[in-house]
Every structure is written in C-alpha cells, then in structure tokens.
Amino acid sequence: MTGQAYRPYRQIDRRKSRKIQVGSVAVGGDAPISVQTMTNTLTTDVAATIAQIEASAVAGADIVRVSCPDEASTIALREICKNSPVPIVADIHFHYRRALEAADAGAACLRINPGNIGSADRVTEVVRAARANGCSMRIGVNGGSLERHLLEKYGEPCPEALVESALEHAKLLQDNNFHEYKISVKASDVFMAVAAYQQLSEVLDCPLHIGITEAGGLRAGTVKSAIGLGNLLWAGIGDTIRVSLSADPTEEVRVAYEMLKSLGLRRRGVTVISCPSCARQQFDVISTVQEIEERLKHINKPLTVSIIGCVVNGPGEARETDIGLTGGGKDTHQVYISGLAHHRLQNDDIVEHVVSLVEEHVARLESEADSAELTCK
C-alpha cells in the first residue's frame, strides 16, 4: 500500500554527492532524483516548444532541455524560459557565444563541454556569464563524440575514455573556481555507460546525470534503459535521470518514473500490479488493465492498484495495495480497499468502477491533507 513498512531488503543507499541548483530544482545531495526530458521541436517555434515543455511538466518532468544550435534559437529561448513551468537547460555544443546568450536569456543550466569551446579565456567568459545569471552547468560526455586524442590513446570508445574526458572538462571549471556542475558519461552501449558511471562515481562528488544515450524506440529503448539505469539506480548512483527514446518526450518522463517507482526511489501516480492473464481469468485482464492505465494517467498522487484475474494470487496481492480487484466466479469479483475485502462487483463496468474508486480515494487523501494543513496553521 502507499505507506509501506520499512523492509531492509528494499533499502538503497544513494551515493553521497554535493547539491547544486538547476533553477528551483535541487540536484544531488539529499534531493529527490529529478526527471528530465528534451524537446524535439524547432526552438525557434516558440509556441510549439512551450507546448511540449508544458506537456512534459504535466507528465512529471522536473527539468526540460532545449537545444540552442544558433543565435535565432537563443533569442527564442528568452520567451521560452519566461513561460516555462520548469527550469530550462540550454543545450550548447561548440559555440561559446550560444552559452553566453543562453545564460542571459534565462536558462537555469548550460549543457556544455568546456573543452569544446576553444581557449581558456572563452571558458572563463562562459563561467562568468553562468555565475552572473545563477546558471549551473552539465558536462555531457558521449561515447559517440569523444575527443580525438582520447580515441587515439584508447583505440576506441571505452569507459576509461569517457571518464578521462569528463575529468578534463571538470578541471576547466574547477580551475575557474566553478563547482555548480553535474556530469553525464553516456553511451549507447549499456556495459560501457554503466562502467563509466561506476568509475566516475568513485572519483568525483558532483551530482551525476544518468542516461543511456540513443537507446532506441519506445519498447527497445525502454528495456535497454531499464537494464542500464536500473543497475545504476539500484547501486545508489544517479541524481537526475533522462531516458533517451525515439518517442514523444512525455513517454521518456513516464518511463523514468516507472523505473524510480519500481525501486522505491520516487513515487508519482498510480502503480498498477496486474497478472499476465491465463485460462483461469474471470474477466479480460489485458484490455481492462490497458484501459485503466490510460484512464488514470491524470492521477499524480502515489497509489497502488492490483488487477488480478483469479483467486490464486489475487487476494494476496490485494492485501498489499490501496485498491484491489480479484476475479471471481459467476461474473462476480471481489473489490479490496486498503488491503481489506470491501464489496463485490459484477462484470459490468469494471473499468469505470475501479477508476471511480481511485479518484474517490485520491480526493479523500487530498481532503485529509488539506484538513491537516489547516489544523497545523
């Protein structure tokens, strides 16, 4: 159920990192693991970009990254930052002036590799602009764009090369007494990315932005990311997360939350526990679950719902959830509330009934929270 007792086997000890700010969002330290995504609209299309940011925020994104490849994009960024419901990370690659412009436009963070922008003077200028505007930075190392001298040294992209690149970029910021940064060492190869993050976590105390880059489409990319990022999160590594999918940004956010929920690291929305269905099912489990999940997307309150097609495991699962449904004979099923058998339900309108129960439960929890807040005042 929502408030579960402490169980030692579920404990994840997070790596200790220093805390930085990305606008209003704390990253690292004891802050919750934040969820990020990135827009895929043309940044110069301000209306479309803001609409995508707003949709991502509704899905639960704490931070959204926006690409700034040219001056027209950084000009548009000012309006985007002004109207965004969440802090914006400006994605900068090679031209240091884009970083200066983005900082002045209101970006909360600059995604930039200091070693790629030229002379030490340019790095100092970017640091000065970031400090003046309250920007943090993300050093974003990627296995697909490693520096030539590292490829020559190691012969190919590898965890050691990713880490060395990150340390070189970090030193440029440290030399300027700038410590408000986080680092990512992403690769499309799960083994390489995980090994690089593990190595980096042992030599620096900065927050780590974790991700498996270019993971693929919705299904394959979700599986690949879950294996790599799940491994890291379970080991306590990761302060902010982006799931990189060839899919709508809102899907990246939803997948990230499913990972965090599965590991008990962060709770948001309804967690549905359901059986794969078999010949024992007393109602169509698959279509019922699909419709319930879709209908409950708007719920942000952490809640567990079990949908089990028969009495073999149904009562046991229902005892551990906020709302449970177990299939029974003669088209009559058992409904559980807070782990206890509550009432019977006929086969008609199962989805409608469960959705109503969830919405009523959430409304009651919110009302109780409001009453408690008023009492405290």
The pLDDT tens digits for 229-254 are 999 999 999 999 999 999 999 999 99
Cα angle, residue 115 at apex, residues 189 and 82 outer, rounded to 5°:
85
Residue 79: pLDDT over 60? yes
Residue 47 and residue 41 in contact, taking contact as beta carbons nearer than 8 Å: no
Going by pLDDT thresholds of 50, 70 and 90, the confidence category of residue 166 is: very high
Q: How far apart are CA 69 and CA 289, in angstroms?
A: 42
Q: What is the mean pLDDT of the chain?
A: 94
> What DSSP character marks residue 33?
P
Residue 45: pLDDT over 90? yes
Residue 2: pLDDT over 60? no
Tell me which of 104-108, 111-115, 217-221, 305-309 is least confident: 111-115
pLDDT of residue 375: 72
pLDDT of residue 377: 63
Residue 135: pLDDT over 80? yes
Tens of pLDDT along 248-302? 999 999 999 999 999 999 999 999 999 999 999 999 999 999 999 999 999 999 9
CB atoms within 10 A of CB 18: 16
Please give the radius of gyration of the chain, using alpha carbons only, rounded to the nearest integer.
23
Which residues have CB under 8 Å from 39's CB, separation 6+?
49, 52, 53, 56, 64, 65, 66, 67, 249
Residue type, 149: H
Residue 4: pLDDT over 70? no
Query: How large is the average pLDDT for residues 109-138?
Result: 92
Going by pLDDT thresholds of 50, 70 and 90, the confidence category of residue 6 is: low
Residue 66 and residue 49 in contact, taking contact as beta carbons nearer than 8 Å: yes
Q: How far apart are CA 64 and CA 57, in angstroms?
A: 8
Question: Where are the chain's structural domains?
Answer: 15-262, 270-376
Under the phi-then-psi rule, with left for phi > 0, alpha for psi from -120 to 50, and beta for the rest, what region is 298? alpha
pTM of the model: 0.92
Going by pLDDT thresholds of 50, 70 and 90, the confidence category of residue 348 is: confident
- Which top CATH class is 270-376? alpha beta
Q: How far apart are CA 228 and CA 220, in angstroms?
A: 12
Residue 1: pLDDT over 60? no
Residue type, 10: R
CATH code, 15-262:
3.20.20.20
Common-topology check for domains 15-262 and 270-376 = no
